[in-house]
Every structure is written in C-alpha cells, then in structure tokens.
A and B are shown apart, each in its own frame.
Chain A
Amino acid sequence: MASKARDLSRRGHRVMSSAMTEDSITKAHVGLGNVANVDLSNVTNESKATMFTSPTFTGTPVLPSGTTLDGAAMQYASCTTSAIQQSGSIDCKRWTKTFNPGASSSTMDVMKLARWWWGTGCLMIHSYEWYYGPDTNYRLDKFVGTTRPGYSPSFSNIFNSGGNGPYCANHNTSAENVDVKLDLSAYRRTFMILEVWGMSYMANSGDVGAGNEYHPYGFLQIN
C-alpha cells in the first residue's frame, strides 16, 4: 500500500485517470504508450557532437528530392568549384553555356585554345540550336590541326542537321593560340557543350599557348 507521502497526485500533479505513484508509473503515463521498448541499454554512448557534427550512417539516409547535402537546390553551378577546375592539370572536362543573341545576329567568343604540334588531347563541340518555330538543330564538330606556325587550325564537322557551328579565328602564331567563335543568327538560341579530353584547363585566357591548353569564356563546368 502506497503511503500518502509518495502519492504524486496529492503533491500538485495533474490527476491521472488511474492512480500514479512512483511505484506504478507506466509508459502510457509519460506519453510512450506506443513505444515497444523504452529500455536504453542498447544505445551507445554517443555525444551530441558525434551525432550531429560528423555522423556515420549505417543505413541509407534519404534527402528531399532535388536537394544537396547543404539543403540547396541542385544546379550545375554547384559543380563549379576550384577543386574541380584544377588550372593547368591535364584531365577530362565538360562545359556548357547558352547563347542568346536576341533580335540581332552576333558573334560569341567560345574559348581560347592552343594545341602543340604533338597534338595530345581532343576537343569536341556539341551545338544545339533552337528557334521560335518547329525546327531544332544539332551539330558535332571536332577540332583539328595545331596552333603552331604553319598550321591551319580548324573544325571538322562530324554531323550537322543545320545551324551554325564553331570556327577558328585570330590564329596568333606568336602566342600559338587561336580564338574559337560562334556566329549567332537573330532569335536563334544555341546551347553548347564542350567536351575536352587530355588537355589543360587554364584559369586565365592569357596563359593559353604553346601547349595543349584551353580557356572557355563564361562556361559552367558540368563534370
């Protein structure tokens, strides 16, 4: 029999539907009626710092669709980090940019490019063009030649369903580089993808020359 001193309901506590004493508190009394096992003996001694600063997941965490671990929406720009764009290193990268000339035709600067006469690496350019109408165009061009004096750097068309493609201009035989440009027709938007294998990305266009190097103007790296 419980003593008066230990009867909690007589010490200002809310009166429960059934008598609640220290000796008879159940899961239901503390809002855990649906919990199968309130025994904490299996919980390891994790600190808050370990749990929330550097958690180790043993299962498969699920994030809301379309978000990254920092909670931001996924976007191409999230890949554009200095860690990925290692200036001067030879590797394989893809870049993208959309050109929109508006009501007037114009010429866009695509990239600065240099190719030594050893000619390592490969540059392919995909150009997708669309219009306010039913037709869309796609073409694939490959860079050929070198930027050394005496050579004629150019693009070789591999496939063309129509539309403008990239071309070489301003071959600088002193700096041994060339400008890649694209002529845009009025109201025709062009979405371009550069695929560059085995060449060196240069952070500054002025550093492109006498090597297998390139610098795209205003492109976003996508992988």
Chain B
Amino acid sequence: MTSPNEERAINLRMLTEMFGSEEEALEKYDEMVAIMEEEKVKWLATQYQRDRREIYPDIREQLDMLWHAIDDGDWTAAKAKTTEFYTKIKKVKEDNPKG
C-alpha cells in the first residue's frame, strides 16, 4: 500500500494530467481530494448493487421464470413468494445486503 507521501505524489500527478499544469493541481489539490473522498463514499455505498448485478439471473431467464409462474397458476398473492422467480431474486439480495 502506498505511503501518505506517495499518495500525495500520485494524486498530484493525476491532477496535473487533469488540469494541464502542476500549479493549478496544487491550487485545487485539497478541493479535489475532498470531492474524490465523497465519490469514494458513494461508490462503496453502492457496491452491493454492482455485486448483485453480476449474480442476478440473465434477464431472459428471469422472464422465463415469470412466464412459468403465471402459466402454472402460481402468480397469486398466496403463491407468488414460492415461485422460482421470487426465491432466486430474493437469495441474491440476501446474500449481498445493502451497506
């Protein structure tokens, strides 16, 4: 893991590339680091969404499960939560909880 000094040097390099001058990078350093810290918090708070997205069944498979639930007569208030469509989606959510 990079040390604080290395961290600052790399941040400055990135900001210099972004702004085109080291002078401006130094001027905006604190402001940009604060912005990126905020972005980091937002990113980590939504990690569960990205994790779930990779595990959810393919959309065509989800639609097929839904069609079978309807075709089998299970798409009722009493039975909907017993269908494969519901239980598979629910498991992904439970395995990857929010925050």
Contact = CB atoms under 8 A, between A and B. Distances in A.
A149 B14 contact: no
B1 interface: yes
B47 interface: yes
A117 B2 contact: no
Interface string B1-14: 11000100011011
A174 B17 CA distance: 24
B36 A118 contact: yes
Interface in B16-34: 17-18
B44 interface: yes
Contact of A154 (B1, B6, B11, B54): B54
B59 to A, nearest CB: 10
A120 B54 contact: no
Contact of B1 (A152, A156, A157, A176): A176
Interface SS of chain A: loop
B53 interface: yes
B54 A210 contact: no
B2 A156 contact: no
Q: Which of A118, A173, A211 has the most CB of B within 10 A?
A: A118
Given A210-B2, A210-B10, A211-B10, A117 B50 contact: no
Contact of B10 (A116, A149, A152): A116
B98 interface: no
Nearest to B18: A120
Given A118-B14, A120-B18, A150-B44, A156 B53 contact: yes
B17 A120 contact: yes
Contacts of B6: 210
A156 B52 CA distance: 11
Nearest to B33: A118
11 contacts: A90-B17, A116-B10, A117-B40, A118-B14, A120-B17, A152-B50, A152-B51, A154-B54, A156-B50, A156-B54, A211-B14
Interface of B: 1-2, 6, 10-11, 13-15, 17-18, 36, 40, 43-44, 47, 50-51, 53-54, 58
